[in-house]
Amino acid sequence: MQKIKHKFSNMLDIPKDVLLDLPKITMIGDIQVYIENHKGIIEYTSNLVRISTALGQLVLIGEGLVLRNIGLEEIYLDGRIMEIKFER
């Protein structure tokens, strides 16, 4: 099914993050992250944020991490971001 969606996305020029429900992550330097298409926050401290996505868990590690805005599909996070990784 995923291969069909990939081909469909390429044929119609639809962004893959929209069609495949993938997270879209935008960073501004190492001080801010904007995450779209999330499934919820699993864990939150000032040093670690764990977010559920269609690909598994997105883990952000840093210092002074602050959730500035949480919406149904997007999250804004400020602080010093040192590491971002996916855990599947």
* Mean pLDDT per 10-residue interval, the chain, length 88 residues: 60 66 94 97 99 97 98 97 98
CATH number for 21-87 (one of 3.20.20.30, 3.20.20.140, 3.40.640.10, 2.60.40.2000): it is 2.60.40.2000
Domain boundaries, the chain: 21-87
Q: What is the pLDDT of residue 12?
A: 64
Whole-number pLDDT of residue 15: 66
pLDDT on residue 73: 93
Contact 58, 86 (CB under 8 A): yes
Beta strand pairing status for 48-53 and 40-44?
antiparallel
N-terminal to C-terminal alpha carbon distance within the chain? 19
